[in-house]
């Protein structure tokens, strides 16, 4: 039986190596996130209240965001200038060393462990300033343009699969202490390094010679002038900044739902489970029409599901609400990433990706800080309810603010340049 076009994208060996790296790193990061969140909250609760500990969890997100804000634009023009494969090797080596430090914190006294975790957060934030631009510059060159939406869907499916297994495994492994989680993460990161280092990627051809500041300015101006790209990027910023609840999950697991580390792993995995189901469907049956309206509807559903999670006192209902939120976010993310990639010329992808990631990181890491501050003032339940309401309002507002984004119908109608031919790929 012949493979469907969506599955055929995996026949490109360099892309298969890239996808393997992405899945292994995603699994390691999700496991570490569970361990860091519980470890920080557990250490904080030794001498702090729930609200004070929530603020400390939020500060972890802020600490990771500052390097992203400072270095992401640099990371974008570096990704356009240098071989993105080499950037990924270097950054993931740094991630490996950071995990070694995390492993050491399991054996330190609380007064030394917390500052060390915050130091690792700075390292990881710096790594995150360079990785997205390099990855988003590399993988579109590993497949023909016609197969790029399928590659995006498989990227999402691989990530969500790791995001389902990673938190669940991290929660179970944490029973043996944070050192067990960090030790397994080291192995996964090492295998990811091997996967990308052995990938036979196309030769990198940098754009015309430009000064670094000129390249960064060009990327910013392009994003500002392309209403579809700007609308898609800013939508993610506003929604996840207010409606994300990831940083508060240790509080819900310990002090609201009373389900321990195993329950925390399940709570973190629930959005990924819902997203994974949708990603699997999109990999085999991608959206082809009314993509803008699909995205807006998904944001509205996301807001409703976060309201349900915030008000729930049932573990099962909380899991279901988070699962629905992940499914809705997957639809939104799939459309956003496809619009951004297909509407951006090949020579601009690194810089546009860096701008995009500043917004994404602001919505995630800075959003975690916002969650911590809101929980400090309103309590964890009030913070989540406020966020869900903000997501619903945003979905309604973006209909008016970015009509071109809402009217986007088909991906193949978007302008853009074809990526460089994939290594060993047949002509498309």
Amino acid 355: pLDDT: 66
Query: Is the CA virtual torsion 169, 173, 177, 180 positive or negative?
Result: negative
pLDDT of residue 183: 95
Name residue, tokens 């790929």. Answer: 425
Using alpha carbons, select from 368, 384, 412 the residue that is nearest to residue 302: 384
Give me the percent of the chain exceeding a pLDDT of 70: 77
**Is the pLDDT at 217 greater than 60, yes or no?**
yes
Among 191, 231, 189, residue whose Cα is nearest residue 343: 231
Tokens of 90: 């270097």
Residues 6 or more apart from 371 whose CB is under 8 A from it? 54, 57, 58, 61, 244, 245, 246, 247, 248, 383, 387
Residue 3: pLDDT band (50, 70, 90) is very low
Q: According to the model, what pLDDT value does residue 418 have?
A: 37
- Name the pLDDT band for 70 (thresholds 50, 70, 90): confident
Residue 256 makes CB contacts below 8 A (sequence gap 6+) with 313, 380, 381
Which of 204-218, 339-353, 388-402 bottoms out in mean pLDDT, i.e. has the lowest? 204-218
Placement of tokens 């990673």 in the chain = 166
Q: What would the pLDDT profile of 225-260 be if each residue is shown by its tens digit? A: 666 667 677 776 677 767 677 778 888 888 889 888
**Which of 325, 368, 383, 385 minimizes the C-alpha distance to 41?**
368
Confidence at residue 426, expressed as pLDDT on a 0 to 100 scale: 29
Stronger pLDDT, 389 or 224, i.e. the higher one = 389
First and final C-alpha spacing in the chain: 21
Q: Which residue has the tokens 């209240």?
A: 49
Question: What is the C-alpha separation between 63 and 65, in angstroms, rounded?
Answer: 6
Token pair recorded at residue 382: 């009030």
pLDDT at 353: 64
Please give the Cα distance from 102 to 91 (Å, whole number): 17
| 5-201+211-412 is a CATH 1.10.760.10 domain | no
Structure tokens at 359: 């917004």
pLDDT at 321: 93
Phi-psi region of 209 (alpha: psi -120 to 50; beta: other; left: phi over 0): beta
The residue to which tokens 């629905």 are assigned: 324
For the chain, domain boundaries: 5-201+211-412
Mean pLDDT score of the chain: 79
pLDDT at 377: 82
Return the top range by mean pLDDT from 56-60, 80-84, 179-183: 179-183
For 87-114, the pLDDT digits (tens) are 999 999 999 999 999 999 999 888 899 9
Over residues 317-343, mean pLDDT: 82
Confidence bin at 415 (pLDDT 50/70/90): very low
Alpha-carbon distance 135 to 350, whole Å?
A: 9
pLDDT for the residue 211: 52
Question: What is the rounded average pLDDT of the residues 345-366?
Answer: 64
Q: Which residue has the higher pLDDT, 340 or 64?
A: 64
Kindly report the length of the chain.
428
**Cβ-Cβ contacts under 8 Å for 384 (sequence gap 6 or more):** 245, 248, 306, 307, 309, 310
Q: Is the pLDDT of residue 397 over 60?
A: yes
Confidence of residue 398 (pLDDT cuts 50, 70, 90): confident
pLDDT of residue 421: 32
Query: How confident is the model at residue 293, as a pLDDT?
Result: 78
* pLDDT at residue 199 greater than cutoff 80: yes
Helices (H), 5-83: 5-8, 13-44, 50-81
Mean pLDDT of 44-65: 81
Name the pLDDT band for 188 (thresholds 50, 70, 90): very high
User: What confidence score (pLDDT) does residue 247 get?
Assistant: 76
CA distance 428 to 420: 12
260-284 and 315-342 helices, crossing angle to 10°: 40
């Amino acid at each position: 039986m012949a493979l469907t076009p969506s599955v055929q994208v995996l026949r490109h060996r360099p892309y298969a190596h890239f996808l393997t790296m992405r899945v292994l790193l995603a699994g390691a990061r999700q496991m570490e996130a569970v361990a860091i969140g519980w470890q920080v909250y557990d250490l904080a609760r030794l001498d702090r209240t729930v609200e004070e500990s929530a603020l400390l969890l939020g500060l972890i997100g802020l600490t990771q965001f500052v390097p992203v804000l400072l270095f992401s634009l640099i990371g974008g023009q570096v990704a356009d200038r240098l071989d993105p494969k080499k950037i990924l090797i270097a950054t993931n080596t740094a991630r490996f060393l950071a995990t070694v430090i995390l492993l050491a914190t399991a054996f330190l006294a609380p007064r030394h462990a917390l500052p060390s975790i915050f130091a690792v957060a700075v390292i990881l934030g710096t790594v995150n300033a360079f990785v997205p631009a390099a990855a988003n510059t590399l993988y579109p060159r590993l497949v023909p343009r016609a197969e790029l939406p399928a590659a995006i869907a498989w990227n999402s499916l691989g990530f969500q699969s790791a995001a389902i297994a990673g938190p669940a495994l991290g929660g179970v492994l944490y029973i043996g202490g944070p050192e067990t989680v960090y030790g397994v993460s080291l192995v996964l990161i090492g295998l990811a390094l091997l996967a990308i280092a052995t990938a036979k990627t196309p030769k990198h051809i940098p754009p015309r010679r430009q000064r670094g500041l000129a390249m960064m300015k060009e990327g910013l101006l392009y994003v500002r002038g392309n209403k579809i790209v700007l609308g898609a990027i800013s939508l993610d910023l506003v929604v996840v900044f207010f409606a994300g609840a990831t940083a508060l999950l240790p509080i819900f697991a310990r002090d609201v739902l009373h389900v321990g580390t195993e329950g925390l792993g399940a709570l973190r995995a629930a959005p990924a489970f819902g997203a994974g189901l949708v990603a699997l469907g999109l990999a085999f049956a991608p959206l082809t029409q009314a993509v803008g309206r699909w995205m807006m509807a998904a944001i509205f559903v996301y807001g409703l599901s976060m309201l349900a999670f915030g008000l729930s006192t049932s573990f099962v209902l909380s899991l279901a609400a988070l699962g629905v939120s992940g499914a809705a976010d997957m639809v939104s993310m799939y459309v956003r990433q496809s619009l951004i990639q297909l509407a951006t010329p090949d020579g601009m992808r690194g810089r546009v990706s860096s701008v995009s990631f500043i917004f994404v990181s602001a919505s995630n890491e800075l959003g975690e800080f916002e969650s911590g501050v809101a929980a400090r003032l309103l309590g964890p339940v009030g913070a989540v309810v406020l966020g869900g309401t903000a997501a619903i309002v945003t979905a309604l507002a973006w209909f008016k603010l970015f009509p071109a984004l809402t009217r986007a119908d088909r991906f193949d109608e978007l302008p853009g340049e074809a990526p460089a031919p994939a290594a060993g790929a047949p002509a498309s």
